[in-house]
Chains A and B, each alone.
Chain A
Amino acid sequence: MKVELEADKCVASGQCVLAAMDVFDQDDDGIAILLADEPAVELLDDVKEAVAVCPAAAIRLVEQ
Protein backbone atom coordinates (compact mmCIF):
# COMPACT_ATOMS: atom_id res chain seq x y z
CA MET A 1 0.00 0.00 0.00
CA LYS A 2 1.11 3.51 -0.75
CA VAL A 3 -0.15 6.62 1.03
CA GLU A 4 -0.25 10.07 -0.52
CA LEU A 5 -0.69 13.27 1.40
CA GLU A 6 -1.47 16.68 -0.07
CA ALA A 7 -0.20 18.98 2.63
CA ASP A 8 -1.61 22.02 0.79
CA LYS A 9 -5.11 20.81 1.51
CA CYS A 10 -4.50 19.87 5.15
CA VAL A 11 -6.47 21.88 7.72
CA ALA A 12 -4.50 20.56 10.68
CA SER A 13 -7.36 18.70 12.32
CA GLY A 14 -5.02 16.00 13.59
CA GLN A 15 -7.55 13.31 12.79
CA CYS A 16 -5.04 11.25 10.78
CA VAL A 17 -2.61 11.25 13.70
CA LEU A 18 -5.33 9.93 16.00
CA ALA A 19 -6.32 7.26 13.52
CA ALA A 20 -2.83 6.11 12.51
CA MET A 21 -0.06 7.39 14.79
CA ASP A 22 2.58 5.25 13.10
CA VAL A 23 1.89 6.74 9.72
CA PHE A 24 1.09 10.41 10.34
CA ASP A 25 2.51 13.19 12.42
CA GLN A 26 2.14 16.97 12.39
CA ASP A 27 4.68 19.73 11.86
CA ASP A 28 5.02 22.75 14.17
CA ASP A 29 1.95 24.36 12.62
CA GLY A 30 -0.16 21.24 12.92
CA ILE A 31 0.07 20.40 9.21
CA ALA A 32 0.18 16.66 8.61
CA ILE A 33 3.38 14.91 7.58
CA LEU A 34 3.87 11.35 6.43
CA LEU A 35 6.08 9.17 8.60
CA ALA A 36 5.87 6.27 6.20
CA ASP A 37 4.53 6.45 2.67
CA GLU A 38 4.53 2.68 2.32
CA PRO A 39 3.36 1.52 5.74
CA ALA A 40 3.14 -2.12 6.76
CA VAL A 41 -0.05 -3.93 5.75
CA GLU A 42 -1.08 -4.35 9.40
CA LEU A 43 -1.69 -0.63 9.38
CA LEU A 44 -4.09 -0.76 6.45
CA ASP A 45 -7.23 -0.42 8.58
CA ASP A 46 -5.79 2.53 10.48
CA VAL A 47 -4.83 4.26 7.26
CA LYS A 48 -8.28 3.63 5.81
CA GLU A 49 -9.76 5.20 8.92
CA ALA A 50 -7.46 8.21 8.47
CA VAL A 51 -8.62 8.60 4.87
CA ALA A 52 -12.24 8.38 5.99
CA VAL A 53 -11.99 10.91 8.81
CA CYS A 54 -9.74 13.46 7.10
CA PRO A 55 -12.11 16.41 6.66
CA ALA A 56 -10.09 17.95 3.86
CA ALA A 57 -9.66 14.90 1.61
CA ALA A 58 -5.92 15.41 1.88
CA ILE A 59 -5.01 11.72 2.16
CA ARG A 60 -5.20 9.06 -0.51
CA LEU A 61 -4.53 5.39 -0.38
CA VAL A 62 -3.11 3.91 -3.53
CA GLU A 63 -3.45 0.15 -3.40
CA GLN A 64 -0.62 -1.53 -5.26
Chain B
Amino acid sequence: MADTLAGPVPESPDSLPEFPMPRQARCPFDPPPALKDLQEKAPLTKVRLWDGSEPWLVTKYADQRALLGDPRVSADTDSPGYPTKASPEGGEGKLSFIMMDDPEHARLRRMVTAPFAIKRVEALRPAVQKIVDDLIDGMLGRPGPVDLVEEFALPIPSLVICELLGVPYDDHAFFQDNTKTMVHRDATPEQRGQASREVAGYLATLIGKRLAEPRDDLLSGIAGRVTAGEIDHRQATEMALLLLIAGHETTANMIALGTLALLQNPDQLALLRESDDPKFVAGAVEELLRYLHITHLGRRRAVTEDIEIGGRLVRAGEGVIMANEIANRDPEVFPDPDRLDLTRDARRHVAFGFGVHQCLGQPLARMELQVVYGTLYKRIPTLKLACALEDVRFKNDAFIYGVHELPVSW
Protein backbone atom coordinates (compact mmCIF):
# COMPACT_ATOMS: atom_id res chain seq x y z
CA MET B 1 0.00 0.00 0.00
CA ALA B 2 1.88 3.01 1.22
CA ASP B 3 5.02 1.38 -0.17
CA THR B 4 4.27 2.81 -3.56
CA LEU B 5 4.95 6.20 -2.07
CA ALA B 6 8.54 5.30 -1.49
CA GLY B 7 9.49 5.86 -5.12
CA PRO B 8 12.88 4.96 -6.53
CA VAL B 9 15.68 4.88 -4.03
CA PRO B 10 19.21 4.63 -5.46
CA GLU B 11 19.79 0.91 -6.13
CA SER B 12 23.36 0.41 -5.17
CA PRO B 13 24.27 1.62 -1.72
CA ASP B 14 27.62 2.73 -3.15
CA SER B 15 25.93 5.50 -5.05
CA LEU B 16 24.58 7.25 -1.98
CA PRO B 17 26.05 10.70 -1.38
CA GLU B 18 28.16 11.06 1.73
CA PHE B 19 27.13 13.51 4.44
CA PRO B 20 28.34 16.03 5.45
CA MET B 21 29.41 17.42 2.10
CA PRO B 22 32.40 19.70 1.49
CA ARG B 23 31.88 23.38 0.86
CA GLN B 24 33.61 24.92 -2.10
CA ALA B 25 36.39 27.42 -1.74
CA ARG B 26 34.86 29.94 -4.14
CA CYS B 27 32.22 31.34 -1.83
CA PRO B 28 32.76 30.65 1.86
CA PHE B 29 29.21 31.78 2.63
CA ASP B 30 27.45 29.32 0.35
CA PRO B 31 26.35 25.83 1.38
CA PRO B 32 28.04 22.91 -0.38
CA PRO B 33 27.11 22.83 -4.09
CA ALA B 34 26.15 19.17 -3.70
CA LEU B 35 23.36 20.22 -1.34
CA LYS B 36 22.02 22.61 -3.92
CA ASP B 37 22.02 19.84 -6.54
CA LEU B 38 20.09 17.56 -4.23
CA GLN B 39 17.56 20.27 -3.44
CA GLU B 40 16.88 20.59 -7.14
CA LYS B 41 17.00 16.95 -8.16
CA ALA B 42 16.35 14.78 -5.13
CA PRO B 43 14.99 16.88 -2.27
CA LEU B 44 14.49 13.83 -0.08
CA THR B 45 17.23 11.31 -0.49
CA LYS B 46 19.21 8.84 1.56
CA VAL B 47 22.77 9.72 2.42
CA ARG B 48 25.62 7.77 3.90
CA LEU B 49 27.20 8.82 7.19
CA TRP B 50 30.74 8.01 8.27
CA ASP B 51 29.53 4.89 10.11
CA GLY B 52 27.72 3.48 7.09
CA SER B 53 24.25 4.34 8.36
CA GLU B 54 21.78 5.76 5.85
CA PRO B 55 19.43 8.42 7.12
CA TRP B 56 17.30 10.63 4.89
CA LEU B 57 18.59 14.06 3.96
CA VAL B 58 15.89 16.70 3.72
CA THR B 59 16.75 19.77 1.67
CA LYS B 60 13.46 21.54 0.87
CA TYR B 61 12.27 24.29 3.18
CA ALA B 62 8.66 23.06 3.31
CA ASP B 63 9.66 19.45 4.08
CA GLN B 64 11.99 20.54 6.86
CA ARG B 65 9.37 22.70 8.51
CA ALA B 66 6.83 19.91 8.28
CA LEU B 67 9.17 17.36 9.86
CA LEU B 68 10.56 19.66 12.56
CA GLY B 69 7.02 20.53 13.58
CA ASP B 70 5.80 16.93 13.62
CA PRO B 71 5.36 15.19 16.99
CA ARG B 72 6.11 11.84 15.30
CA VAL B 73 9.68 13.02 14.89
CA SER B 74 11.96 12.58 17.89
CA ALA B 75 14.93 14.63 19.06
CA ASP B 76 15.92 11.95 21.56
CA THR B 77 19.36 10.65 20.60
CA ASP B 78 18.37 7.23 21.98
CA SER B 79 15.43 6.84 19.58
CA PRO B 80 15.92 3.98 17.10
CA GLY B 81 17.33 5.30 13.85
CA TYR B 82 18.65 8.58 15.28
CA PRO B 83 21.45 9.60 12.91
CA THR B 84 24.89 9.30 14.39
CA LYS B 85 27.07 12.33 14.83
CA ALA B 86 28.86 13.96 11.94
CA SER B 87 32.17 12.37 12.77
CA PRO B 88 33.44 9.10 14.19
CA GLU B 89 34.32 10.86 17.41
CA GLY B 90 30.71 10.86 18.53
CA GLY B 91 29.00 13.07 21.04
CA GLU B 92 29.11 13.89 24.70
CA GLY B 93 25.82 12.33 25.70
CA LYS B 94 22.60 14.16 26.32
CA LEU B 95 22.70 17.90 26.51
CA SER B 96 19.62 18.57 28.61
CA PHE B 97 16.25 19.21 26.99
CA ILE B 98 17.43 19.74 23.42
CA MET B 99 17.89 15.99 23.22
CA MET B 100 14.52 15.08 24.76
CA ASP B 101 10.95 14.94 23.58
CA ASP B 102 7.82 16.39 25.10
CA PRO B 103 6.46 16.32 27.72
CA GLU B 104 9.82 16.16 29.55
CA HIS B 105 11.38 18.57 27.07
CA ALA B 106 8.64 21.14 27.59
CA ARG B 107 8.75 20.76 31.35
CA LEU B 108 12.49 21.44 31.53
CA ARG B 109 12.56 24.11 28.83
CA ARG B 110 9.88 26.15 30.52
CA MET B 111 12.06 26.41 33.60
CA VAL B 112 14.46 28.69 31.75
CA THR B 113 12.30 30.60 29.27
CA ALA B 114 11.54 33.62 31.49
CA PRO B 115 14.72 35.64 30.88
CA PHE B 116 14.33 35.23 27.11
CA ALA B 117 10.92 36.89 26.85
CA ILE B 118 10.99 39.86 24.47
CA LYS B 119 10.46 42.53 27.11
CA ARG B 120 13.04 41.10 29.46
CA VAL B 121 15.53 40.99 26.60
CA GLU B 122 14.68 44.54 25.54
CA ALA B 123 15.43 45.71 29.06
CA LEU B 124 18.99 44.45 28.54
CA ARG B 125 19.50 46.43 25.35
CA PRO B 126 21.14 49.50 26.97
CA ALA B 127 23.57 47.25 28.85
CA VAL B 128 24.48 45.43 25.62
CA GLN B 129 24.88 48.77 23.84
CA LYS B 130 27.35 49.80 26.52
CA ILE B 131 29.31 46.57 26.19
CA VAL B 132 29.49 47.05 22.42
CA ASP B 133 30.50 50.72 22.69
CA ASP B 134 33.17 49.98 25.28
CA LEU B 135 34.67 47.23 23.15
CA ILE B 136 34.73 49.51 20.11
CA ASP B 137 36.41 52.24 22.19
CA GLY B 138 38.98 49.67 23.21
CA MET B 139 39.72 48.71 19.61
CA LEU B 140 39.87 52.32 18.42
CA GLY B 141 42.22 53.17 21.24
CA ARG B 142 44.91 51.03 19.66
CA PRO B 143 46.52 50.92 16.26
CA GLY B 144 45.05 48.16 14.13
CA PRO B 145 44.92 45.51 13.00
CA VAL B 146 43.06 43.59 15.66
CA ASP B 147 41.42 40.20 15.64
CA LEU B 148 37.70 40.99 15.60
CA VAL B 149 36.84 37.53 16.96
CA GLU B 150 38.98 37.83 20.05
CA GLU B 151 38.48 41.54 20.71
CA PHE B 152 34.82 41.95 19.84
CA ALA B 153 32.76 39.04 18.53
CA LEU B 154 33.45 36.61 21.37
CA PRO B 155 33.40 38.99 24.36
CA ILE B 156 29.91 40.31 23.57
CA PRO B 157 27.83 37.15 23.89
CA SER B 158 30.21 35.91 26.54
CA LEU B 159 29.71 38.97 28.75
CA VAL B 160 25.96 38.87 28.17
CA ILE B 161 25.40 35.20 28.93
CA CYS B 162 27.70 35.35 31.95
CA GLU B 163 25.73 38.27 33.31
CA LEU B 164 22.43 36.53 32.65
CA LEU B 165 23.48 33.22 34.19
CA GLY B 166 25.49 34.77 36.98
CA VAL B 167 28.79 33.20 35.92
CA PRO B 168 31.84 35.36 36.78
CA TYR B 169 33.20 36.73 33.49
CA ASP B 170 36.68 36.66 34.98
CA ASP B 171 36.63 32.91 34.39
CA HIS B 172 35.88 33.34 30.70
CA ALA B 173 39.23 32.10 29.39
CA PHE B 174 38.63 28.80 31.18
CA PHE B 175 35.18 28.07 29.79
CA GLN B 176 35.79 29.59 26.36
CA ASP B 177 38.73 27.25 25.82
CA ASN B 178 36.67 24.31 26.96
CA THR B 179 33.54 25.15 24.99
CA LYS B 180 35.73 25.57 21.91
CA THR B 181 36.98 22.02 22.37
CA MET B 182 33.44 20.76 22.91
CA VAL B 183 32.22 22.04 19.54
CA HIS B 184 35.38 21.11 17.65
CA ARG B 185 34.78 18.26 15.26
CA ASP B 186 38.39 17.20 15.27
CA ALA B 187 38.74 16.98 19.02
CA THR B 188 38.91 13.38 20.23
CA PRO B 189 36.00 12.01 22.27
CA GLU B 190 38.34 12.01 25.27
CA GLN B 191 39.21 15.66 24.76
CA ARG B 192 35.59 16.63 24.31
CA GLY B 193 34.45 14.56 27.27
CA GLN B 194 37.20 16.06 29.41
CA ALA B 195 36.30 19.62 28.36
CA SER B 196 32.63 19.11 29.06
CA ARG B 197 33.38 17.54 32.46
CA GLU B 198 35.58 20.52 33.35
CA VAL B 199 32.88 23.08 32.59
CA ALA B 200 30.13 20.91 34.10
CA GLY B 201 32.13 20.56 37.31
CA TYR B 202 32.64 24.30 37.41
CA LEU B 203 28.93 25.00 36.88
CA ALA B 204 27.90 22.35 39.42
CA THR B 205 29.99 24.15 42.01
CA LEU B 206 28.45 27.50 41.11
CA ILE B 207 24.94 26.04 41.34
CA GLY B 208 25.87 24.65 44.74
CA LYS B 209 26.81 28.16 45.84
CA ARG B 210 23.51 29.57 44.55
CA LEU B 211 21.63 26.82 46.38
CA ALA B 212 23.07 28.16 49.59
CA GLU B 213 22.93 31.83 48.65
CA PRO B 214 20.51 32.69 45.83
CA ARG B 215 21.05 35.86 43.82
CA ASP B 216 19.13 37.57 41.05
CA ASP B 217 20.43 35.46 38.18
CA LEU B 218 19.44 32.48 36.06
CA LEU B 219 21.72 30.04 37.89
CA SER B 220 19.85 30.89 41.08
CA GLY B 221 16.59 30.31 39.23
CA ILE B 222 17.83 26.88 38.15
CA ALA B 223 19.09 26.16 41.66
CA GLY B 224 15.62 27.09 42.94
CA ARG B 225 14.17 24.26 40.83
CA VAL B 226 16.53 21.87 42.56
CA THR B 227 15.41 23.11 45.96
CA ALA B 228 11.79 22.68 44.86
CA GLY B 229 12.56 19.07 43.91
CA GLU B 230 11.68 19.58 40.23
CA ILE B 231 15.12 18.61 38.95
CA ASP B 232 18.25 17.17 40.48
CA HIS B 233 21.67 18.78 40.66
CA ARG B 234 22.89 16.92 37.58
CA GLN B 235 19.96 18.08 35.45
CA ALA B 236 20.50 21.61 36.70
CA THR B 237 24.14 21.43 35.65
CA GLU B 238 23.27 20.08 32.18
CA MET B 239 20.82 22.92 31.72
CA ALA B 240 23.35 25.56 32.73
CA LEU B 241 25.96 23.96 30.47
CA LEU B 242 23.60 24.05 27.51
CA LEU B 243 22.87 27.75 28.03
CA LEU B 244 26.52 28.63 28.49
CA ILE B 245 27.64 26.84 25.31
CA ALA B 246 24.72 27.96 23.18
CA GLY B 247 25.21 31.53 24.32
CA HIS B 248 28.87 31.55 23.34
CA GLU B 249 29.55 29.92 20.06
CA THR B 250 26.57 30.94 17.98
CA THR B 251 26.29 34.70 18.36
CA ALA B 252 30.06 35.17 18.26
CA ASN B 253 30.25 33.40 14.92
CA MET B 254 27.34 35.42 13.56
CA ILE B 255 29.14 38.65 14.47
CA ALA B 256 32.47 37.75 12.86
CA LEU B 257 31.19 35.88 9.82
CA GLY B 258 28.47 38.49 9.31
CA THR B 259 31.05 41.25 9.31
CA LEU B 260 33.12 39.40 6.74
CA ALA B 261 30.05 38.85 4.54
CA LEU B 262 29.23 42.55 4.75
CA LEU B 263 32.80 43.57 3.91
CA GLN B 264 32.52 41.38 0.82
CA ASN B 265 29.21 43.09 -0.08
CA PRO B 266 30.03 46.80 0.30
CA ASP B 267 26.72 47.97 -1.17
CA GLN B 268 24.85 46.08 1.55
CA LEU B 269 27.25 47.27 4.22
CA ALA B 270 26.57 50.86 3.11
CA LEU B 271 22.84 50.34 3.67
CA LEU B 272 23.48 49.35 7.27
CA ARG B 273 25.93 52.17 7.84
CA GLU B 274 23.51 54.75 6.54
CA SER B 275 20.29 53.56 8.12
CA ASP B 276 18.96 54.90 11.39
CA ASP B 277 15.84 52.79 11.23
CA PRO B 278 15.80 50.06 13.88
CA LYS B 279 13.31 48.11 11.74
CA PHE B 280 15.76 48.04 8.87
CA VAL B 281 18.54 46.86 11.16
CA ALA B 282 16.26 44.15 12.57
CA GLY B 283 15.43 43.01 9.03
CA ALA B 284 19.12 43.02 8.12
CA VAL B 285 19.83 40.73 11.06
CA GLU B 286 17.20 38.26 9.81
CA GLU B 287 18.71 38.31 6.33
CA LEU B 288 22.21 37.68 7.68
CA LEU B 289 20.86 34.81 9.79
CA ARG B 290 19.25 33.35 6.69
CA TYR B 291 22.21 33.90 4.42
CA LEU B 292 24.96 32.68 6.73
CA HIS B 293 23.21 29.89 8.51
CA ILE B 294 26.05 29.01 10.83
CA THR B 295 24.63 25.65 11.98
CA HIS B 296 25.91 23.71 9.02
CA LEU B 297 25.79 20.05 9.94
CA GLY B 298 22.07 19.56 9.82
CA ARG B 299 19.49 19.05 12.52
CA ARG B 300 19.01 15.39 13.32
CA ARG B 301 15.87 13.51 14.23
CA ALA B 302 14.46 9.98 14.34
CA VAL B 303 11.05 9.15 12.94
CA THR B 304 8.86 7.24 15.41
CA GLU B 305 5.87 6.51 13.15
CA ASP B 306 5.66 6.17 9.36
CA ILE B 307 5.35 9.61 7.80
CA GLU B 308 4.64 10.58 4.23
CA ILE B 309 6.76 13.53 3.25
CA GLY B 310 7.52 15.06 -0.12
CA GLY B 311 5.73 12.15 -1.83
CA ARG B 312 7.79 9.54 -0.05
CA LEU B 313 7.33 7.29 2.90
CA VAL B 314 9.77 7.67 5.74
CA ARG B 315 9.44 4.74 8.08
CA ALA B 316 9.44 4.51 11.84
CA GLY B 317 12.98 3.86 13.00
CA GLU B 318 14.62 5.80 10.18
CA GLY B 319 16.74 8.87 10.73
CA VAL B 320 16.31 12.25 9.08
CA ILE B 321 18.82 15.06 8.75
CA MET B 322 17.54 18.54 8.01
CA ALA B 323 20.18 20.56 6.19
CA ASN B 324 18.81 23.92 7.31
CA GLU B 325 21.45 25.93 5.51
CA ILE B 326 20.04 24.84 2.16
CA ALA B 327 16.43 25.32 3.27
CA ASN B 328 17.33 28.95 3.82
CA ARG B 329 18.47 29.07 0.20
CA ASP B 330 15.31 27.47 -1.18
CA PRO B 331 14.32 29.59 -4.19
CA GLU B 332 10.66 28.72 -3.67
CA VAL B 333 10.72 30.68 -0.43
CA PHE B 334 13.55 33.15 -0.94
CA PRO B 335 13.85 34.40 -4.51
CA ASP B 336 17.44 34.75 -5.76
CA PRO B 337 18.48 33.02 -2.54
CA ASP B 338 22.25 33.22 -2.96
CA ARG B 339 22.18 37.00 -2.90
CA LEU B 340 22.69 38.81 0.37
CA ASP B 341 19.90 41.37 0.25
CA LEU B 342 19.35 43.25 3.49
CA THR B 343 16.11 44.72 2.19
CA ARG B 344 14.33 41.40 1.75
CA ASP B 345 11.86 39.95 4.23
CA ALA B 346 13.77 36.97 5.57
CA ARG B 347 11.86 36.44 8.81
CA ARG B 348 10.74 32.94 7.91
CA HIS B 349 14.25 31.52 7.80
CA VAL B 350 15.03 28.39 9.79
CA ALA B 351 18.41 29.49 11.14
CA PHE B 352 17.05 28.98 14.67
CA GLY B 353 15.39 25.73 13.67
CA PHE B 354 11.67 25.12 13.77
CA GLY B 355 9.21 23.24 15.93
CA VAL B 356 9.26 22.91 19.68
CA HIS B 357 13.06 22.84 19.78
CA GLN B 358 13.45 26.17 18.06
CA CYS B 359 16.28 28.12 19.68
CA LEU B 360 15.40 29.29 23.15
CA GLY B 361 17.89 32.15 23.11
CA GLN B 362 16.79 33.67 19.81
CA PRO B 363 15.35 36.91 21.24
CA LEU B 364 18.64 37.54 23.01
CA ALA B 365 20.71 36.64 19.94
CA ARG B 366 18.59 38.94 17.77
CA MET B 367 18.94 41.87 20.14
CA GLU B 368 22.71 41.41 20.47
CA LEU B 369 23.11 41.23 16.70
CA GLN B 370 20.90 44.27 16.16
CA VAL B 371 23.04 46.29 18.53
CA VAL B 372 26.25 45.06 16.92
CA TYR B 373 25.23 45.48 13.27
CA GLY B 374 23.56 48.79 14.07
CA THR B 375 26.67 50.18 15.80
CA LEU B 376 29.96 48.72 14.58
CA TYR B 377 29.95 49.95 10.97
CA LYS B 378 28.69 53.40 11.90
CA ARG B 379 31.33 53.86 14.53
CA ILE B 380 34.10 52.42 12.36
CA PRO B 381 33.00 53.35 8.84
CA THR B 382 36.42 52.53 7.39
CA LEU B 383 36.49 49.02 8.82
CA LYS B 384 38.31 46.64 6.47
CA LEU B 385 39.77 43.20 6.28
CA ALA B 386 43.46 43.26 7.19
CA CYS B 387 44.41 40.10 5.33
CA ALA B 388 43.58 38.44 2.03
CA LEU B 389 40.24 36.63 1.93
CA GLU B 390 42.16 33.45 1.01
CA ASP B 391 44.00 33.67 4.30
CA VAL B 392 40.90 33.71 6.47
CA ARG B 393 40.54 30.34 8.21
CA PHE B 394 36.95 29.12 8.11
CA LYS B 395 35.53 26.75 10.71
CA ASN B 396 34.85 23.80 8.49
CA ASP B 397 36.05 21.73 11.41
CA ALA B 398 33.50 22.87 13.98
CA PHE B 399 29.85 22.13 14.66
CA ILE B 400 29.14 25.84 14.32
CA TYR B 401 30.44 27.53 11.18
CA GLY B 402 32.35 30.78 11.28
CA VAL B 403 35.90 32.08 11.17
CA HIS B 404 38.72 31.24 13.55
CA GLU B 405 39.98 34.79 13.49
CA LEU B 406 39.23 37.94 11.53
CA PRO B 407 42.03 40.51 11.30
CA VAL B 408 40.56 43.96 10.70
CA SER B 409 41.89 47.50 10.51
CA TRP B 410 40.34 50.92 9.81
B-contacting residues of A (Cβ < 8 Å)? 9, 11-15, 17-19, 26, 28-31, 49, 52-53, 55-57
Contact = CB atoms under 8 A, between A and B. Distances in A.
A55 B68 CA distance: 9
Contacts of B360: 11-13
A20 to B, nearest CB: 12
Nearest to B106: A11
Nearest to A11: B356
A49 B347 contact: yes
Q: Which label, helix, strand, loop or mixed, suits the secondary structure of the A interface?
A: loop
Contacts of B359: 13
B261 to A, nearest CB: 23
B67 to A, nearest CB: 13
B96 to A, nearest CB: 15
Interface stretch (B112-120, B181-189, B296-304, B314-322): B112-120
Contacts of B362: 13-15
A55 B109 contact: no
Contact of A53 (B118, B347, B353, B363): B347
A9 B109 CA distance: 12
B117 A56 contact: no
A19 B283 CA distance: 12
A14 B109 CA distance: 14
B356 A55 contact: yes
A31 B113 contact: yes
A28 B114 contact: yes
Given A26-B118, A30-B120, 20 more contacts: A11-B106, A11-B357, A12-B116, A13-B358, A14-B118, A15-B362, A29-B110, A29-B114, A30-B114, A30-B117, A31-B113, A49-B347, A52-B348, A53-B348, A55-B68, A55-B352, A55-B353, A55-B354, A56-B69, A57-B69
B166 interface: no
B182 to A, nearest CB: 25
Contacts of A31: 110, 113
Contacts of A26: 117-119
B355 A56 contact: yes
B302 to A, nearest CB: 19
B113 A55 contact: no
